[in-house]
Amino acid sequence: MREKRIRRLITPLGTGAVVGITMLGGVPAQAAPVTTPFKTACLATPSAVAGPTVQAQDASVTIDAPESVAAGEEFEVTIIPPPITFPNSASGATVQNVSRIKIDVAIPQNATYLGADTVAGTSVGLSGVTPNVLRVNENGAVDANGSVLRLSGNNVVIGNSPTSSKSSEGGIVAKAGPGSETTFQLPQVRARLKAGASGNVEIKLRTAGDAGAWANDKNFLTFLPKASLIVTAWAPTQCTPRDSESAPLNAGAGPLSTTRIVEADKATTTTISGPNAAKNGSPVTLTANVAPAANGGTVQFKDGDAPLGAPVPVTGGAAIIAPVFDTDGPHSITAEYSGTTGFTGSVSAAKVITVTTDAPPDAVTTTTVTAPSNAKVGQDVNLTAKVTPAGTGGTVEFTVDGGAPVPGMVGSDGVAVAPYTFTSTGTHKVVARFTGVSGYAKSVSPAFPVSVTQPAAADVETTTTLDAVGTVTRNTPVTLRATVAPGTAKGTVQFKLGDAPLGAPVEVVDGVATLPTTFVSPGTFNVTAEFVGAPGFTASASAPQTLTVPGDPGPGTGGGTGSLDGLFGGFGS
């Protein structure tokens, strides 16, 4: 009978706080309020009448949060505790009050805490110390750099504070009123935050470290019921989000809301690469390089103030044009990048091209090996190199440790790909030699190190094959199809055009991955499929397939080798 009386005292307070998050200014999109249900388990340790009592019951936290905020943006978080009800008597025992109430919330990562206050007029049925909000450290002391936001009566609580007690009334007090039960309301808390540069801002109850342990004064919810029958019984109570005393922390210890920080647009720089001289009446390939590499937006090339053709789509940080100049003399070429989501626009410095009726010398090229950085013995991989400026055409010959050359076609994007399989462990050096073509000089890359290790003995070896692509029509949907053997292999396939990903990785189902996509610009490219195995399966890559997208390069551009009005375009869903 005595145990039952104490149990009834802690049951009404075993629920977590209801937390609502609102954003000032109304700029960020608001997500619909989300309720996270979980159980809260509490331990009450009375000073008389009964022994320690455990009670677990349903709880929930409701959050109204912005889906996103801008990097560096200041916003407010309003924490709204729910009404809490407790019985005024239990099997003859009289409940006098519940005091020393506190709720702890973790200061969120990726945000700067600017301060917090209680909201006037939002509490009901409270006496004792006026509720306030303090920032405290792990020891419960007020600390400007603390990791905990505490709603309490000036830090007068049952423990984890310099002003703790488990046998005296103090702090926030909810006195029993007339009738069979008493309801009180803790005040709302308005906290001010400033979003960091990136990442997510997550609201969590305090459960890190000791706060997540069973029966610890650092638990997110603690309070002190006081009851009397013949003697006074104090029942300090500690609550954590778990299903039972022996259960692990549950969903109540996880993120109860997640607000994405929208990063500030990255500043870009645009440069032009291409020959310094051109022959009157012949196309010359110019590449605008946007750094950091962006996918999206357009580049408008200009000859002085006059546009050179239409704006060119940017993919993989580059846009290509092949204009024909019909006037001898110097031409001052600039490239204006429009910018896109996450990237600012920028304008290149002028590049002067001297146009003459005589054939100019071959343009200087550079060749760089870009992949792979590591591999497994026996694994099919692709050696990848990039020739600058793009649009040269021609061939790259790869050599590994000075061995026999492995040729790869240079696509219109300047990327050459060749299949290879390493047969021994160690660091192997890959060199790519661009053979040169009419108008473009030869070039050789620096040696590129590839670390080769043995696959795990238990891993199942895989092979990946990409169906032939061939010639496709511009602006017409096509489907790329890769087959992974054995058919039981689990993992994803990343389709690539040159060295640029085509969409997101695709899940392999029954040994097959497919990707619908559309190509919008003419040219010839290398298409590959790279399988990333789930645990227990090795990775593998398909040999490159040649993609040809015929079409008129468009106004202001020429035909022939490397004649493009832009890189590849649309990415499928």
Query: What's the CA gap between 101 and 32, in Å, rounded?
Result: 30
Residue 344 pLDDT level (bands cut at 50, 70, 90): very high
What H or E segment, with its residue span, contains residue 511?
none
**How large is the average pLDDT for residues 303-331?**
91
| pLDDT at residue 76, as a whole number | 82
Whether the per-residue pLDDT at 282 is higher than 90: the answer is no
**How large is the average pLDDT for residues 135-159?**
96
pLDDT digits 0-9 by tens, 436-445:
887 889 999 9
Q: Which of 10-14, 238-242, 306-310 is least confident?
A: 10-14
- Pick 42 or 86 by higher pLDDT: 42
**How large is the average pLDDT for residues 408-428?**
95
Q: What is the mean pLDDT of the chain?
A: 85
| pLDDT at residue 8, as a whole number | 34
| pLDDT at residue 88, as a whole number | 82
| pLDDT at residue 120, as a whole number | 93
**How large is the average pLDDT for residues 554-569?**
29
Residue 91 pLDDT level (bands cut at 50, 70, 90): low
Strand partners, 570: none
Whether the per-residue pLDDT at 350 is higher than 80: the answer is yes
Residue 37 pLDDT level (bands cut at 50, 70, 90): confident
Q: What percent of the chain is modeled with pLDDT above 70?
A: 89
58, 35 Cβ separation under 8 angstroms: no
Most confident by average pLDDT, 5-9, 261-265, 273-277, 454-458: 454-458
Give one DSSP letter per residue of 333-362, joined into a string.
EEEEE--BTTB--EEPPPEEEEEESSPPPP
Q: Which of 68-82, 128-142, 209-223, 303-317 is least confident?
A: 68-82
| pLDDT at residue 279, as a whole number | 87
104, 205 Cβ separation under 8 angstroms: yes
- With DSSP H G I counted as helix, E B as strand and the rest as coil, what are the percentages for the chain, rounded to 5? 5, 50, 45
- Coil/strand/helix, residue 427: strand
pLDDT digits 0-9 by tens, 521-559:
788 899 999 999 999 999 999 999 999 888 644 333 332
Query: What's the CA gap between 241 and 59, in Å, rounded?
Result: 9
**Residue 112 corresponds to which tokens in the numbers above?**
């700067």
Whether the per-residue pLDDT at 469 is higher than 60: the answer is yes
- 474 burial (CB, 10 Å; 0-12 / 13-18 / 19+) is middle
Whether the per-residue pLDDT at 4 is higher than 70: the answer is no
Closest listed residue to residue 379, CA positions, set 306, 462, 459, 319: 462
Angle at the Cα of 485 (from 513 to 422), degrees rounded to 5? 110
Q: Which of 56-60, 393-397, 422-426, 537-541 is least confident?
A: 56-60
Query: What's the CA gap between 473 and 89, in Å, rounded?
Result: 81
- Pick 227 or 89 by higher pLDDT: 227
| pLDDT at residue 85, as a whole number | 77
Query: What's the CA gap between 129 and 145, in Å, rounded?
Result: 24
**How large is the average pLDDT for residues 72-100?**
81
**How large is the average pLDDT for residues 329-341?**
94
Q: Which of 41-55, 136-150, 399-413 is least confident?
A: 41-55
Strand partners, 160: none
**How large is the average pLDDT for residues 191-212?**
91
**How large is the average pLDDT for residues 158-174?**
96
Closest listed residue to residue 519, CA positions, set 569, 467, 469: 569
| pLDDT at residue 315, as a whole number | 79
Domains of the chain (ranges, CATH numbers)? 2-262 (2.60.40.2270), 269-356 (2.60.40.10), 366-549 (2.60.40.10)
Strand partners, 50: none
**Residue 363 corresponds to which tokens in the numbers above?**
């343009």
Residue 277 pLDDT level (bands cut at 50, 70, 90): confident
Site of tokens 């936001």: 149
- Residues comprising the chain, all counted: 573
Strand partners, 54: 43
**Residue 349 corresponds to which tokens in the numbers above?**
């410095």
**Residue 506 corresponds to which tokens in the numbers above?**
């695709």
Question: What is the pairing mode between strands 478-485 and 406-409?
Answer: unpaired
CB neighbours of 192 closer than 8 A, spacing ≥ 6?
74, 75, 76, 77, 113, 114, 115, 116
| pLDDT at residue 551, as a whole number | 61
Closest listed residue to residue 239, CA positions, set 412, 86, 101: 101
pLDDT digits 0-9 by tens, 16-36:
322 222 222 233 445 556 677
Whether the per-residue pLDDT at 171 is higher than 70: the answer is yes
**Residue 389 corresponds to which tokens in the numbers above?**
């400026």
